A and B are shown apart, each in its own frame.
Chain A
Amino acid sequence: MTTKNATGTKFEGGHEGRPYVSRFSMTTTALQVRALSKTFVQRRMLSRKSIGITALRGVELALQLGCALGLVGESGSGKSTLGRCMALLERPDSGEIWLDGQNLLSLKSSELRRARRSIQIIFQDPARALNPRFSAVELVAEPLEILRWDTYEARRRRALDLMEEVGLSRQWGNRLALEFSGGQRQRLAIARALAVEPRILVLDEALSALDPPLQVQIMNLLVDLQVLHGFSYVLISHDLRLIWRAVDEVAVMHQGTIVERGKVRDVFAAPGHTATQMLLELC
């Protein structure tokens, strides 16, 4: 099925590329973001000026169970910041993030630590996201080690199982991270994130550093894993073709707010906001 969007660009392949339809009711909310705002302030020593960059302005977002959401926007629109806030890596200035009936931003640090497991993030550059001196097994088992889950042997076994799930051979368990290629390292990062059985996975430009054929591979892997494990994921990317293939719904961000949200097919065919139109034009 071919769709033409407003400016005439063709998106090939349509939605048959994504065989999975969420088995959960699309109305059950996994994560709810309310009125999230964040401004980055840069202050210079001994000068009275301070420059503020507003990354998020009162963002509202609901993420359903088992859904796949794409987050797009131009550079500086705040999509990466939103992703990091959702993964609790940045602390927003105001707003709420609701998960399982709890506002994560109001939790005490010990409870927060437990809640963190539910949302994991995969970074863009696997070389920086994995400690190069760790072995593959150590990397994947690290979250289990932090949580002091079971015994050392059990953790190792689970790590090797996860490695197999993401398509890496068990025999590479003792290889150091720096001996793996970029695509393999990204698989390790995914395996690591899955170790704690998260409910939500945020992929911050996680496929952008890979070659197109690898991107497709990893994307397919992601879709398969979602079937198996049932998490929701948020794919942040500037590559609209990827978004087209990888997600059900898309949210468009512009200057710190979400300006448009809907099914990918609908949004790309008939963009409602000028920002979306500009994005599609550049495609």
Chain B
Amino acid sequence: MLRYFTRRLLHGLFLVVGVSLLTFFLLQLAPGDFFAEMRLNPQMTAESVAAVRHQYGLDRSVATRYLLWINSVRKGELGFSFAYDSPVACLLWARARNTLILTLSAMLLSWLIAVPVGLGCGARPGGWSDRLCLGATSSLLAIPDLLLALGLLFLAVRTGWFPTGGMVSPGFDDLSGWGKVKDVVSHFCLPVATLVLGTVPVLVRHVRAGVVEVLASPFIRAARAHGITRRRLLARYALRGAAAPLISLLGLGITTLLSGALLVEVVMSWPGVGPLLWEAVLARDLYVVVGAVMCSTLFLVGGNMVADALLFAVDPRIRTE
């Protein structure tokens, strides 16, 4: 078993390194860089632009820059942001924290809603509740995230029940401790709602499919013949049988913890990794882009490994590998 995990770990490491190389070199191909705009400024002479570029090491070769960047990663800085004039790591850390607040809450809420609903729908396949379920999920799935976000924002603007963007209100610092919490919560209702509305249909469908499949298997019929009540059947047997695909779904949910909320964050002006990446792309702030992509890759690879590990623990059939 240890060998299985070491293999996975090495594999994950290979992926992370590979991705860092891929992104880094892809981005280096970009014509122009952050300081290209500067050159257009008639007040800046060519020499000063060159000097600034030299200061930031942009005139070195690509390979050298990569090695320097690796060094910076080792130091914990993850490169340097030109736009913000600070190491990338500090920026990312704060933004990632904000994003995670959003996505973790959304994930929790989605699962809390989806599992019972999926169970309920799957319990009577073909019944009216099931048809309602399928209809509702299909309709929700057809609405793109962007539209959901814009729609909810519109609601906020019209009704004024929720703040229309950002994470904190002006005057945040003056609030009491509890007041601060309430403020943040009121701001994150809408983004979380959007994320939840986007994920719940998918989850419900998966749960339902798993439950339907398990309920159709012979051992359930045997249990029924033994006189086990339907409710007990659902809770104890069906769910456990459907657990394996759900576990991997959970792992997959982890993969998008950092990256899945990009559109929502941008629309709702939530200060997460998404808007940071967007600005950096527009401004050609190279190391921020690399850093953000690397971080989300870490989550992705990590999430896959977690999914594998959980599956390993839950499904005894894999252990014989």
**A and B pair up:** yes
Interface residues of A (CB under 8 A from B): 45-47
Q: How far is the CA of A45 from the CA of B7 in the complex (A)?
A: 9
A249 CB, min distance to chain B CBs, angstroms? 45
A45–B3 Cα distance when bound, in Å, is 11
Q: What's the Cα separation between A47 and B4 when bound, in Å?
A: 11
A47–B3 CA distance with the chains assembled, in angstroms: 9
Closest Cβ of chain B: how far from A44's Cβ, in Å?
10
A-B contact pairs, 4 of them (CB 8 A): A45-B7, A46-B3, A46-B7, A47-B3
List B residues 223-249 near A (Cβ within 8 Å). none
Output the least CB separation between B319 and chain A (Å): 16
The residues of A that contact B7 with a CB separation of less than 8 Å are 45-46
* C-alpha spacing A246/B252, complex, angstroms: 59
For A47, what are the chain B residues with a Cβ–Cβ distance below 8 Å? 3
4 shortest A-B CB distances, which residue pairs?
A: A46-B7, A45-B7, A46-B3, A47-B3
Complex Cα spacing A46 to B3, Å: 9
Least Cβ distance of B212 to chain A in Å? 29
- How far, in whole Å, are A46 and B2 apart by their CA atoms in the complex? 13
Interfacial chain A residues near B3, Cβ < 8 Å:
46-47
Chain B, 116-132, contact with A by CB distance < 8 Å: what is the 0/1 string? 00000000000000000
Question: Closest approach, in angstroms, between the C-beta of B13 and any C-beta of chain A?
Answer: 14
CB-CB contacts below 8 Å: B1-24 with A: 3, 7
List B contacts of A46 (CB < 8 A): 3, 7
In the assembled complex, the Cα of A45 lies from the Cα of B11 at a distance in Å of 12
What residues of chain B lie closer than 8 Å to A45, measured between beta carbons?
A: 7
Which A-chain residue is minimally distant from B7 (CB atoms)? A46
Min Cβ gap B15→A in Å is: 16
Q: How far is the CA of A47 from the CA of B7 in the complex (A)?
A: 11
In whole angstroms, how far apart are the Cα atoms of A46 and B7 in the complex? 8
Within the complex, the shortest CB–CB distance from B133 to chain A, in Å, comes to: 37
**CA A214 – CA B3 in complex, angstroms?**
51
Q: Mark B44-82, 1 if CB is under 8 A from A, else 0.
A: 000000000000000000000000000000000000000
Q: State the CA gap A45–B6 with chains docked (Å).
A: 12
CB distance from A185 to the nearest CB of B (A): 32
Task: Give per-residue flags for B252-286: 1 if the beta carbon is below 8 A from chain A beta carbons, else 0.
Answer: 00000000000000000000000000000000000
**Nearest Cβ on chain A to B265's Cβ, whole angstroms:** 40
Residue of A nearest to B10 (CB): A46
* A-contact bits for B121-162, CB 8 A (1 contact / 0 none): 000000000000000000000000000000000000000000
Within 8 A of A (CB), among B64-103: none
Residue on A with the closest CB to B6? A46
Closest-by-CB residue of B relative to A45 is B7
A21 to B301, CA, bound (A): 69
A65 to B157 alpha-carbon distance, docked (Å) = 92
B5, chain A: closest CB distance, angstroms = 12
- A179 → chain B closest CB, angstroms: 29
CB distance from A51 to the nearest CB of B (A): 16
How far, in angstroms, from A100 to B7 measured CA to CA in the complex?
52
**In the assembly, what is the distance between CA of A118 and CA of B219, in Å?**
53
CA distance A138 to B7 in the complex (A): 47
Distance (whole angstroms) from the CB of A48 to the closest CB of chain B: 12
Q: In the bound complex, what is the Cα–Cα distance between A60 and B3 (angstroms)?
A: 44
CA distance A47 to B2 in the complex (A): 13
User: Bound complex: CA of A46 vs CA of B9, how far in Å?
Assistant: 13
Determine the distance from Cα of A91 to Cα of B240 in the docked complex, in whole angstroms: 48
For A47, give the chain B residue with the smallest CB separation. B3
Distance from B216 Cβ to chain A, minimum over Cβ atoms (Å):
26
| A269, chain B: closest CB distance, angstroms | 47
CB distance from B308 to the nearest CB of A (A): 16
Shortest distance in angstroms between A80's beta carbon and chain B's nearest beta carbon?
27
Quote the shortest CB–CB distance from A49 to chain B (angstroms). 12
A241 to B215 CA separation, bound complex (whole angstroms): 47
B67 to A: closest C-beta gap in Å: 29
Q: Separation in Å of the A163 CB from the closest CB of chain B?
A: 42
In the bound complex, how far is the Cα of B3 from the Cα of A98, in angstroms? Answer: 47
**A45 CA to B10 CA, complexed, in Å:** 13
Instruction: Tell me, rounded to whole Å, the shortest Cβ–Cβ distance linking B14 to chain A.
Output: 12
